[in-house]
Amino acid sequence: MFQGDLFQHTGWIDIPDGRLFWEPEFIPTSIASDIFHHLSRSLPWDQLPIKMFGREVLQPRMQAWFGDAYSYSGLHLKAARMPESLVSLKSQCEQTSGVAYNSVLANLYRDGQDYMGWHQDNETELGTEPSIASLSFGETRRFVLRHLQTGEKREFELGSGSLLIMAGKTQTYWQHAVPKTAKLRGARINLTFRNINFLAKS
């Protein structure tokens, strides 16, 4: 398989210095479409400000952040309690990954101009080898992983109902992004389930 090839393989995939799970049809298309409409209407979407080059600008997407009962009960006050629709998706991801999650970050990309820049989800609170389960709904968007030392790339078309799990040392050695696209794109919702240790300090 050449560098940057779109993966057709499903299941667990070993990559250099990391591990992924890929299932493009984790949730059947018609159910995924209902979930998309439900989440787009019901989640409390917010466009948060971030600092970029010393200026405050709005993030290039909308977000909502939830924790479970434990995290909600005083340790991470900003997280609202996870709605039932997300709790059930969380259990499905947990069954596949074998890891329990207590939080979810929901991202809404309104069109092709909304994006997620290169980053690692490597905050101390996530632990050293975090498992992050990413479920997508609505429009398909390209997701790119880039190895920090070799520059090697892995790309996925994250379609509606797909599940991509990043595990092992992926967050230490790879960055990932959802690039902007000039093509006309409808809205996409992405849920990333994580397990946050609220007692760990950054």
Ligand X SMILES: O=C(O)CCC(=O)C(=O)O
**Torsion from C-alpha of 56, 53, 122, 68, nearest 10 degrees:** 0
157: which strand partners?
142
User: Which lies closer to ligand X via its Cβ, residue 43 or residue 178?
Assistant: 178
x/- track of binding to ligand X for residues 137-176 (CB under 6 A): ------x--------------x-----------------x
Site residues for ligand X, window 100-119 (CB under 6 A)? 105, 107, 116
Q: Is 171 helix (H, G, I), strand (E, B) or coil?
A: helix
123 lies in the binding site for Fe ion (CB under 5 A) = no
SS3 labels along 129-146? CCCEEEEEEECCEEEEEE
119: which strand partners?
176
121, 123, 152, 155: which one contacts Fe ion (CB under 5 A)? 121
User: Which lies closer to ligand X via its Cβ, residue 54 or residue 120?
Assistant: 120
Q: Are 198 and 125 in contact, with CB atoms under 8 Å apart?
A: yes
Name the binder of 134 from Fe ion, ligand X, none, CB < 5-8 A by kind: ligand X
- The residue number with the shortest CB distance to ligand X is 190
User: Which lies closer to Fe ion via its Cβ, residue 26 or residue 143?
Assistant: 143
Q: Is 189 helix (H, G, I), strand (E, B) or coil?
A: strand
User: Which lies closer to ligand X via its Cβ, residue 66 or residue 143?
Assistant: 143
- Site size for ligand X, by CB under 6 A? 11
71, 97, 102, 134: which one contacts ligand X (CB under 6 A)? 134
DSSP per-residue letters across 37-103: HHHHHHS--B--EEEETTEEEE-SSEEEEEE-HHHHTTTSTTSEEPPHHHHHHHHHHHHHHS----E
Site residues for ligand X, window 173-202 (CB under 6 A)? 176, 178, 190, 192
Q: Which residue ranges make up the site for Fe ion (CB under 5 A)?
A: 121
Q: Which residue ranges make up the site for ligand X (CB under 6 A)?
A: 105, 107, 116, 121, 134, 143, 158, 176, 178, 190, 192
